[in-house]
Each structure stands twice: as structure tokens, then as C-alpha cells.
Chain A
Amino acid sequence: MIKNLALLITNDLAAAFKNKSLFLILFIPLFAVLSLKLVDRSPGDFGRVNLGIVQNQRYPYSVMNALRSADRAFSLETVISIDEGEALLRERVLDGILVREGGGLELVVLKKEAFKTLAIVSGLTELQRKTEGRNPNWITDIRPLHAGGFQFQSLPTWVLMSILLVSLIILPAQVADEKEKKLLLGLLQTPMRESEWLASKVLTGMALSILAVLLLHVMGLFGAGNAVAYITFIVAGTFCFSSFGVMLGFLCASQSSARTLGVLFYLPLLLPSALSDFSSRLSSIAPLIPSYNLFEPVRAALLEGGRIADFTFDLACLLLIGLAACFITLKLIKKRWLM
């Protein structure tokens, strides 16, 4: 009995190795540890906070003095107007702007519910306690630039997650299934062109992804921010990742391998972009990952009214990656790769 059990387990492990499930077991902890190392451990890990102050505004002397003396924690940058400061804030040059409001100070940030905001407020509170003791708070109000509440602000993450889920988990498995059951070869026995099959798969992926995004909006009653820019990037992003998903599916001989390979790409593409708001380390790495070319413009279009012109590089990247994936897939079909 033990011998049989050992034989069967060895066989299962060999099968898991064959369909690459073992790589997944190895990859998930490895990726989790790497990601956790990149996440900031405490608000203090954010480094020096870059605060903007507006020229011609009269700030309390004690506050300015305290901020200037704490130059290891805060750096101050003078901006000509609040508009200029907000523009620098959107470009992530500034972490926050201090604006004179009535008798107190208003802190303008991108997001109210972000670790960065928490770091600024806790830093200022600490500074105040050290210099003035238990006086009333310097900050009387916090104004976020991003529209909507926390639910709306987390929408870009859900959008990215939906698109990647369809493109990297569902689509590759479907493509590999058609290959595994020789259905694609059957279809290629008809006058249909290879490019038509490819286009149908990419368009199916795009349609499913767009449907998922649409459902998110309908169910959550969310608006679309700058709708033109938002729709443009959703279309470009779904094209990019659907093409990539079809390519992944085509690289595999079986459905199970394709699903594993999909997950191997899904996590690294999703997490750094989605968590970039919560970690300065991740936000410095995220722009190197293609999903950020979709995530950032979508976030800007939804929350800040971002325009297409501000993200032409990202748009070009998405389209180029999509086209490159289509080109490789077409070459693989012509070579009858693993068919």
C-alpha cells in the first residue's frame, strides 16, 4: 500500500511539474516575500515629505520655523499659486500643500485615505508636540484632490484586476484548450485566415474585459471621470493584455499549463500597480511594469480628470505591447507551435 501511495504521489508530482503547477508553488511565496520587502514598514519609511507652500500666503511663524528646523523630515518648496501646487501634487513632485484657510492650515493631498497622507499628518503632529506641547492642531482640514470616496478611489485597482483576470487567467486557458483538443487545427482546415482567428480571440478578450469594467460601473453606480480618456485607455489596455493573454495561451500545450502561466504573470502585473498608492518603494518600481501604463492613466482619468495628451507614452506602450504580442502569436500559429 505504501509503495502504491508513493508511486501515485510521485506520479502526481511529476504531472504537477509537467503542467507547471510546481512553479506556481515556488513562485507565489517568492513573489509574496519580494513584494512584502518592497512595502514600507512604517509611515517613517516614506522618507522626507516634500511640502508645498504658496507664495504670498502668510503662514504662522512658529509653524514655518518648526518645519524648517525639521529639515530631515520635511522639505519645503514654494509655489506661485495653489493651482501650480496642485499640478505639482498630481505629478507626484509634492506630497502635499499647506494652504492658509481661515485661522488654520488646510493640507491639500491627492488622497485622504492614503499612507502618504497619514505620514504627513503624523509627522506634523509629532513636530507640533515637540515644539508647542498640547496646543490645537496646526492642520484644521485635509482636502483631497482625487474625486469621490474611498470606494471610487479604489476603482482603478478593481478595473485593472478585472482586465488582467480576463486576459491572463481566462483567455490563455481557452486558447490552450482549443490547441489541446486540436480545434484550432480543425478551424485552420477552413479558408479562415490565421489573423482572423487571432483577431477573434483578442476581440473576445477585449469584449469580456470591457463587460467586466462596465458591470463594475453599473453595480457601483460609478461615473467615468474624463470619459474620453478613460474609454480610450480601457480599450487600449484590454487590447494590450488580451493580445498578451492569447500569446501566453499559445505558448502552452495544455490548458493547465496555460492557467499556471497566466497566474505567474497575473500577480506581478497586478500587485505592484495596485499597491503603488500604499508604498513609496512600490510606487518607484510600478512604472517599470506594463500594467502601470494602464493603471496610472485610468486612475488619472477617473480621479483627476486626466487627459489623453498627458499619457501619450503610456498609450503608445500599451498599443506596442499588444501589437508585438499579436505579431509573435501569428508567427507561432504559422509554425504550428506545439500543435
Chain B
Amino acid sequence: MPLKVNDLSKLYSEKRGLYPVSLSIRSGELVAVVGHNGAGKSTLLKLISGWLAPDSGSVEVDGISSLDRCAYVKKVGFVPETPNLFDRFSVEYNFRLFAGLFNASFKRIDRLLKEFDLTSYRSARVHVLSKGLKQRANIGRALLSNPGFILFDEPTLGLDFEMTRDVYRLLKKVHSAKKTVLFTSHRPEEIRSLATRIIVLHEGRVVFDGPPKKYFRSRTYRELYL
């Protein structure tokens, strides 16, 4: 499912935010957006997902503009860095609520719970789950509408090594289900073997866009991370 971003920008102040960015992502790519804190990675993903209203520019996924929100959100799933589930309710309640809003079948809920090893936690309230389990439930929730394009904003933030590995395994799983994936990370080494393409943001601007092999040999990598 292809993505087209044209002159998308959002500035919070003169030095914070995202300057006009244009890029396109082909179907089936697994793209990592890397950069230091405040580089504009989360802003880019929030703009693509519709969480933020842009100052300028447009986004299209599979030919559908983000302005047509109701049609657009069926194509794009978004996993924010902090799980935003109704934490006083159970995992299953959350899945049922969002499945209802997406018009998804209850069979899909069972499938996703099974796929994400959440069956034994289906009745557990979200606030009692560990960070890793919450993130798993969050990813599962984003897949309820079976979107072709998925955005992950810092999916491993605050997770330990084991859980980080678990989340990256899920990310690979999602990608192998023929979905286009765009995710952010501020630790490029972690995604060396994961991404098929790397986009580097620095101070709100794209400074590199290419395959991982090329990136890790580039001057940009040396200047920013070494």
C-alpha cells in the first residue's frame, strides 16, 4: 500500500518541529525513520496518522487523502509510543470497542488475541499488564481494521532487551503479512537488520533516505552517531 507525502510540515517554534518534507513509500517496504530526540520523527508519524493537523502539505495512502479521515483511517493503523487503551477496562473490552467502531468481526478479535499471545490476558484490565503486554495489545488494536499501512512510533521506548526483541519480532510478523510498515527509532543499530530502507531526520529535515547498508557507511551516520 503506497504512501505519498507532499511538503508536509508542522513547526512548534522556529527550531522545533518538521520543515516541509516530501517522500513516497512503496507497497511492502519496512521503513525506519531515525534521528535524535526532537528531530521530528514523532511529528512526521503523527502528521501521517492524523494525530496532528499539519501547517502545510498533504498525505495520501493508496490514493486516499488524509483529509477523507473516515476512509483514510481504515487504510492506516497507528501504534503510538505510549499505549492509549482504556486502561480501566479489559483487553477484550478494548478490542471489542474498537472492533465495533471499525465494523470488524469478533472473529478477528479472537484471531488477533491468539496471534499476539494475549488470549490468557483477554479479561485482564489493561492497567495491570506489563509494558510489553500493553504494547502488544496496542499493536493488536491497531490491526483490528486490517490496515495495509502501519505506523509505529518508538515501539520499543522504555522496554527492556527481551521485550524490545519481542516487539521487533511482531514488527517483522506484521511486515511479512504483506503490510507496509513505517516506524521510528532513535537507536539505528537496533534496526540494522530489520528495515529495508532508512530515512534520517535531523532538526526537522530529511538528511538521508536510502538502504541500511548505504546508511551505515554514510557520512550522515558517522556525523550523527559516531
Contacts and interface: CB of A to CB of B under 8 A. Distances in A.
Interface string B69-112: 11101100110101011110000000000100111000000000
Contact of B102 (A182, A191, A334, A339): A191
A191 B78 contact: no
A68 interface: no
Interface residues of A, number: 16
Contact of B49 (A189, A192, A339): A189
B73 A191 contact: yes
Given A188-B50, A189-B50, A182 B74 contact: no
Interface string A175-196: 0000001110111111111000
Contact of B86 (A183, A334, A339): A183
Contacts of A134: none
Interface in A321-339: 334-336, 339
Nearest to A192: B101
B116 interface: no
Given A188-B50, A189-B73, A192-B101, 7 more contacts: A186-B84, A186-B98, A189-B49, A191-B71, A191-B102, A334-B53, A336-B52
26 contacts: A181-B87, A182-B80, A182-B84, A183-B86, A185-B80, A185-B84, A186-B80, A186-B98, A187-B101, A188-B50, A188-B51, A188-B73, A189-B50, A189-B78, A189-B142, A190-B73, A190-B98, A190-B101, A190-B145, A191-B71, A191-B74, A191-B101, A191-B102, A193-B70, A334-B53, A336-B53
In the A-B complex, the 6 residue pairs with the closest CB atoms: A190-B101, A182-B84, A191-B70, A186-B84, A336-B53, A192-B101
Interface of A: 181-183, 185-193, 334-336, 339
Interface of B: 49-53, 69-71, 73-74, 77-78, 80, 82, 84-87, 98, 101-103, 141-142, 145
